[in-house]
A = this chain, B = another copy of it.
Amino acid sequence: MKLSSKGRYAVTAMLDLAFHSKKGPVPLAEISERQDISLSYLEQLFSKLRRTNLVASVRGPGGGYTLNREPENLFVGEIIQAVNENIDATKCSGKSDCKGGEKCLTHNLWENLSDRISDFLNQISLQELMQKRDVKEVVGRQSCYQSSVIVTDLEKTTIDTKLNVL
């Protein structure tokens, strides 16, 4: 999982699409103007988004792009992954020329982390972003806020505090 301004462009464009595609396809030219992203760069990004079936396209006059899924089922992680080439997670990816030991250990640890980030981003839907709540206040789907059952007040405070952060 890679996170750069490229992914930001993609998510931004998809958000714009989510806001405007209810009344039919949205041409890239509109997104380009509204979000100030060059048309041809958008073309490249949407080419990838289409290949991964996140959007559908309609050609000809009146055409454009639409989301291929409901915003609540379309996740940020998917968008970011779609536009980024796979980053070689381990350098020795799978191969046995890693001489084992130390190196592969940390490689695995990174993969572990990478998976977690990926999982995290795949829990954030476009829908959720569209609601634009203050994250610090609204914990959202990632919360286990009310999962504690019988805890002491002290413990409860600690848990709440921790959860507030996320």
Contact = CB atoms under 8 A, between A and B. Distances in A.
Interface of A: 1-5, 8, 11-12, 15-16, 19, 34-36, 76, 87-89, 91, 102-103, 105-110, 112-113, 115-117, 119-121, 123-124, 129-130, 132, 134-136, 139-151, 156, 159, 162-163, 165-166
Contact of A103 (B34, B103, B121, B148): B34
Nearest to A92: B36
B2 A113 contact: no
Contact of A147 (B76, B146, B166): B146
Given A35-B103, A109-B132, A119-B142, A150 B149 contact: yes
A34 B98 CA distance: 10
Given A146-B149, A151-B149, A123 B165 contact: yes
Contacts of A140: 116
Closest 8 interchain pairs by CB? Answer: A3-B3, A34-B102, A147-B147, A12-B106, A142-B142, A15-B106, A109-B129, A116-B135
